[in-house]
Amino acid sequence: MTSFAVINPATEEVVRSVALTSAEETDTAIARARAAFPAWRAVSPGDRARLLRRFADAVEGDIENLAQLEVTNSGHTIGNARWEAGNVRDVLNYYSASPERLIGKQIPVPGGVNLTFAEPLGVVSVIVPWNFPMPIAGWGFAPALAAGNTVVLKPAELTPLTAIRLGELAREAGIPEDVFQVLPGKGSVVGQRFVDNPAVRKVVFTGSTEVGKQIMAGCAAQVKRVTLELGGKNANIVFADADLEKAAARAPYGVFDNAGQDCCARSLILVQASAYDKFMELLEPAVKGVVVGDPGLEATEMGPLISAQHKQKVSSYISSDSPVAFRGSAPEGDGFWFPPTVVTPSGLQDPLASDEIFGPVVAVVRFEDEADAVKMANHTEYGLSGSIWTRDVGRALRVSRGVEAGNLSVNSHSSVRYWTPFGGFKQSGLGRELGPDAVDAFTETKNVFISTEE
Residues with a known catalytic role? 229, 263
> Residue type at 209?
T
70 near ligand TAP (CB under 6 A): no
2 near ligand TAP (CB under 6 A): no
Q: Which of 206, 227, 272, 344 binds ligand TAP (CB under 6 A)?
A: 206
Length of the chain: 454
Stretch that binds ligand TAP, among 83-91, 128-136, 237-245, 391-399 (CB under 6 A): 128-136
Q: Which of 73, 87, 98, 131 binds ligand TAP (CB under 6 A)?
A: 131
What is the closest distance, in whole angstroms, from the C-beta atom of residue 110 to ligand TAP in the complex?
45
Between 252 and 291, how does the x/- string for binding to ligand TAP read (CB under 6 A)?
-----------x----------------------------
Beta bridge partners, 5, equal 17
Stretch that binds ligand TAP, among 43-51, 75-83, 184-192, 266-274 (CB under 6 A): 184-192
Cα(193)–Cα(43) distance, rounded to whole angstroms? 28
Q: Phi/psi at 327 (nearest 5 deg)?
A: -135, 155
Q: Is the Cβ–Cβ distance between 233 and 245 less than 8 Å?
A: no
Interacting positions 344-363 with ligand TAP (CB under 6 A): 356, 358
Cα(255)–Cα(314) distance, rounded to whole angstroms? 14
Q: Which of 157, 178, 294, 301 binds ligand TAP (CB under 6 A)?
A: 157
135 near ligand TAP (CB under 6 A): no
> Residue type at 268?
L
Whichever of 120 and 207 has its CB closer to ligand TAP, that residue is 207
322 near ligand TAP (CB under 6 A): no
Q: Phi/psi at 343 (nearest 5 deg)?
A: -120, 155
Q: What DSSP string runs through 185-220?
A: --IIIIIHHHHH-TTEEEEEEES-HHHHHHHHHHHH
211 near ligand TAP (CB under 6 A): yes
Q: What DSSP string runs through 317-343?
A: T--TTS-EEEE-----SSS-----EEE
Q: Which of 44, 188, 222, 447 binds ligand TAP (CB under 6 A)?
A: 188
The closest alpha carbon to 237, from 358, 340, 391, 374, belongs to 374
Residues in Cβ contact with 164 at an 8 Å cutoff, skipping those fewer than 6 apart: 18, 155, 182, 184
What is the closest distance, in whole angstroms, from the C-beta atom of residue 377 to ligand TAP in the complex?
17
127 near ligand TAP (CB under 6 A): yes
The closest alpha carbon to 219, from 240, 239, 185, 194, belongs to 194
Residue number of the CB closest to ligand TAP reads 187
What is the closest distance, in whole angstroms, from the C-beta atom of residue 385 to ligand TAP in the complex?
9
Binding site for ligand TAP (CB under 6 A): 127-132, 136, 154, 156-157, 186-188, 191-192, 195, 206-208, 211, 214-215, 229-232, 263, 356, 358, 384, 424, 428-429
